Amino acid sequence: MSLLQRLNEKNLSTALTQDGNPVTSKREIVRPKESELKLSLQSHLIAELKKNPNLSDDGQRELIEVESMKFLNDKNDRLTYEGKVELIRTVSNELIGYGPITSLLNDPEVSEIMVNGPFQIYIEKNGKLLLSDQYFRDDEHVLQVIEKIVSPLGRRIDESSPMVDARLPDGSRVNAIIPPLSLVGPAITIRKFPQNRLQIDDLIRFGSLSDEMAKFLEACVKARLNIFISGGTGSGKTSLLNVLSSFIPADERIVTIEDAAELQLLQDHIVSLETRPPNIEGKGAISIRDLVRNSLRMRPDRIVIGEVRSGEALDMLQAMNTGHDGSLATGHSNSPREMLSRLETMVLMAGMDLPIRAIREQMAGAIDLIIQQSRLKDGSRKVVNITEVIGMEGDTIVLQDLFSFRQTGTGENGKIIGKHVSAGIRPYCSEKLEQYGFELPADWFNGE
Ligand SMILES: Nc1ncnc2c1ncn2[C@@H]1O[C@H](COP(=O)(O)OP(=O)(O)OP(=O)(O)O)[C@@H](O)[C@H]1O
Ligand SMILES: [Mg+2]
């Protein structure tokens, strides 16, 4: 079996078609022939748009609609009215939108779009992976859309730089990778920018965490604990970071540091910093680490780091240990314990020759709480652990789970049934919380 076939098989195993049936075979790919009518309409519109070069997006859309209807009525084609509207929509998406993914971008229920070469576009809707009914004409068509996304940002994609990160004007995060690196043709992955980031009430309503856990976390943020959110790709780390940051009191100065600004905080006093990729000559990159260091000179009350993945871990731990408590960050890992060992590796990436024990002591001293976020098999996202970092015992960092998610069964359509339980241990941090006026009810920690 070729690598290409294997990749496709892998994609198929977990995906559903739009009707909710499992995808069992790669769709018969019949490259649709462009109709004469569509092509002539397209060139007519391109000519019209050239005559009016200064139109806004809305102006262009209006021109396209008016001109197309006129054009199609003149042609006296057998197309029905609905057919015409559909054709105009497609052509207009080609000309001023992002081709076949435009309608998916506009669909508020779609949260993620994954283009695996021209003929396969998967979407995520309500936590489920679905095969959409959209497709591109060919590789070239996908490349055109990638160009359209990246060129306004001064970035490029071609054989010499075949991967690129970018953002759409609405803030959606885009990654594109093309052949020869991608074997399925040009691939695009888009994480759509949520219209409204989830709020704590949404997370409670979805069963992502319990009411007590939410109140506990709110108290922990207000009492300036250093909190690390750990989770896999797309598990909901950024969403949870946004919720936790919203608990920061309004009179504190917040500096946020991200690769692509995704946080939506409502407080007034915020400075948002964003990294910068290198320019065409490979120079001028500003990393998360540079920004973390700079932020320390900005008199922050709180530092919020979108994702820690390299040497900045050292600067972050040092900041947390030297008076910048109440900091929040996320990292990529599958359990609190694994998060610690990944942080250890990241600190080593900073290039300082620190002994492992010293690194562990820094971590144990700096981090108070690790929250593990997971995307479960049924597509739901949950906090599966809230774990406290207690200290060191010999060479080992001691952790203590306060809350966890316990699965009790599986319901219809593979839905995971379970509940959040407390470990029955009074938190080590309760003293600190009490100093800030938070009395934790004893029954939160009575074991169930
Ligand atoms: N608790 C939740 N319940 C349901 N959906 C959620 C929840 N948290 C996040 N989501 C949705 O899951 C998607 C991924 O969320 P988010 O961007 O927060 O994940 P992430 O872990 O930061 O991803 P990445 O690793 O790509 O940065 C978004 O569409 C978001 O709206
Ligand atoms: Mg994220």
Q: Which string of DSSP letters, residue by residue, matches 145-168?
A: HHHHHHGGGT---BTTB-EEEEE-
Q: What is the mean pLDDT of residues 138-161?
A: 90
> Residue 13 pLDDT > 80, yes or no?
no
Q: What is the DSSP letter of 414?
A: G
Q: Across all residues in the chain, what is the average pLDDT?
A: 89
Binned at pLDDT 50, 70 and 90, residue 64 comes out as very high
The answer, yes or no, to whether any atom of ligand 1 lies below 6 A from the CB of 234, is: yes
What pLDDT is attached to residue 16?
Answer: 63
Q: What is the pLDDT of residues 324-347, one digit of tens each?
A: 899 999 999 999 999 999 999 999
Handedness of CA 261, 263, 266, 271 (dihedral sign): negative
Strands, DSSP E only, in 93-186?
A: 110-116, 121-125, 128-131, 163-167, 173-177
> Residue 270 pLDDT > 50, yes or no?
yes
Q: What is the mean pLDDT of residues 422-444?
A: 91
> Residue 404 pLDDT > 50, yes or no?
yes
Share of the chain above pLDDT 70, in %: 92
Single-letter amino acid, residue 447: G
What pLDDT is attached to residue 33?
Answer: 53
Q: What is the mean pLDDT of residues 161-174?
A: 91
Q: What is the mean pLDDT of residues 32-41?
A: 76
C-alpha pair distances (Å), 303 with each of 219, 224, 373: 18, 11, 21
For a ligand 1 pocket test, name from 205, 208, 238, 339 the mutation site with the most ligand atoms within 8 angstroms of its C-beta.
238
The answer, yes or no, to whether any atom of ligand 1 lies below 6 A from the CB of 239, is: yes
The answer, yes or no, to whether any atom of ligand 1 lies below 6 A from the CB of 111, is: yes
Binned at pLDDT 50, 70 and 90, residue 186 comes out as very high
What pLDDT is attached to residue 94?
Answer: 84
Handedness of CA 328, 333, 334, 338 (dihedral sign): negative
Binned at pLDDT 50, 70 and 90, residue 194 comes out as confident
Nearest-CA residue for ligand 1 atom 2 is 381
Upper half-sphere CA count for residue 380 (Cβ side, 13 Å): 21
What pLDDT is attached to residue 338?
Answer: 97
What pLDDT is attached to residue 155?
Answer: 85
> Residue 7 pLDDT > 50, yes or no?
no
Backbone phi, then psi, for 292, in 5-degree steps? -60, -45
Binned at pLDDT 50, 70 and 90, residue 402 comes out as very high
DSSP string, 343-377: HHHHHHHTT----HHHHHHHHHHH--EEEEEEE-T
Q: Which tops the pLDDT comparison, 40 or 189?
A: 189
Nearest-CA residue for ligand 1 atom 3 is 381
What pLDDT is attached to residue 423?
Answer: 92
Tell me the whole-structure pTM to 2 decimals: 0.84
The CA 203 to ligand 2 mean position distance, Å, reads: 16
Rounded to 5°, angle at Cα 54 from 48 and 60: 55
Q: What is the pLDDT of residues 208-253, one digit of tens each?
A: 999 999 999 999 999 999 999 999 999 999 999 999 999 999 999 9
What pLDDT is attached to residue 387?
Answer: 98
Binned at pLDDT 50, 70 and 90, residue 199 comes out as very high
Q: Which tops the pLDDT comparison, 19 or 337?
A: 337
Binned at pLDDT 50, 70 and 90, residue 358 comes out as very high
The answer, yes or no, to whether any atom of ligand 1 lies below 6 A from the CB of 208, is: yes
* Ligand closest to the CA atom of residue 332: 1
> Residue 55 pLDDT > 90, yes or no?
no
Given the CA of residue 332, which atom of ligand 1 is nearest to it?
A: 25
What pLDDT is attached to residue 8?
Answer: 45
Binned at pLDDT 50, 70 and 90, residue 22 comes out as low
Q: What is the mean pLDDT of residues 118-138?
A: 91
Strands, DSSP E only, in 13-126?
A: 16-17, 110-116, 121-125
